[in-house]
Each structure stands twice: as structure tokens, then as C-alpha cells.
Amino acid sequence: NAGVTQTPKFRVLKTGQSMTLLCAQDMNHEYMYWYRQDPGMGLRLIHYSVGEGTTAKGEVPDGYNVSRLKKQNFLLGLESAAPSQTSVYFCASSWQGGQPQHFGDGTRLSIL
């Protein structure tokens, strides 16, 4: 039982490049989330999903897109990376809203 798995763990991109971060959970959770964590700012919600085939914008969605084609996977895409997107990205899942969230190990992303 791996819980929430994120790939990759580290990545360095040049401005304008694109990439996709993958999150997979094996707990059959309905809700999945993408957060970014920046120093002194806590966790901010980028996008979330309340079930397979659904996605919605969170607090800071600009510059990101997501997809949830399968219940266990939640993908975060950066179409044209910008230095302001340098951050640590965490994926999380929960059974429902208002339930304990389980986090992945994070992806440390640097945009040069």
C-alpha cells in the first residue's frame, strides 16, 4: 500500500518549457488535490478534483492545467513554465471533503 505517489521528485526546467507532474493514489479516494508550498505561505490549492472526470480551480490556478481521466491518477501540467512557478508541489487525496488528507512526498520544481 503505497498511499500517494508523486513523480518526478525533482525537476529543473527552462522558462517556456512544459512538463507534467503525476500523482497516483491507491486508497480509492474520491478527492484529489494539487498544492504548491512556498516559504512563509503555507499550502495553497492550485486545482482539485472531487471524482473521476472532474476538475476545478483552486486558489492559484493560473498557469496550470489538470486532468483526472482515471480515479487513481491526477495530473498537473505546466504549459509554459515561468520562474514564479518555482516551488514544491504536493499532491494529496482524501475520501471526501472534510476528511484527513494524505500527501505525497512532493516534487521540487525549479524554473530557470
Partner 1 sequence: GENVEQHPSTLSVQEGDSAVIKCTYSDSASNYFPWYKQELGKRPQLIIDIRSNVGEKKDQRIAVTLNKTAKHFSLHITETQPEDSAVYFCAASSGTYKYIFGTGTRLKVLA
Binding site for partner 1 (CB under 8 A): 31, 33, 40-45, 48, 50, 56, 90, 97-106
Whole-number Å distance between alpha carbons of 104 and 72:
13
CA distance 101 to 112: 32
Residue 83 phi/psi, 5° resolution? -55, -30
Residue whose CB is less far from partner 1, 13 or 35:
35
> CB of 54: closest distance to partner 1 in angstroms?
10
Closest contact distance (angstroms) between CB of 100 and partner 1 is 5
Question: Whose Cβ is closer to partner 1: residue 12's or residue 41's?
Answer: 41
